[in-house]
Structure 1
């Protein structure tokens, strides 16, 4: 039977930085590469909100990106 081992996690935040010339929302992203792989989802959401407030930029989406190793 296969086994999955979680190796690492990253946090990717997408910010709304206003409107472009075409009138559509401009989205920029920032990836933080050293996220605690066992971090609670509520803690991640709270931290993302605090980062958004610190930058005075609304967070559009928050992603937790994980890297796993699958072995037999």
Structure 2
């Protein structure tokens, strides 16, 4: 190999060596981008599918519309 190629490899190695990997670095960003939320384990057992969970949430929203606050 030429010394130029070796120098480039050294430069790239130094660049990558200085980066500190962060596990889950983009987790929050990805969740927001996909509009995803984390569901607790006990709720996953009660609502094993997205369809069932969405139906329950829609029912809750509908019920909340009929509740008068401060009455």
TM-score exceeds 0.5: no
TM-score scaled to structure 1, two decimals? 0.29
Higher relative contact order (CA 8 A, sep 6+): 1
TM-score scaled to structure 2, two decimals? 0.30
Higher fraction of helix:
2
Higher fraction of strand:
1
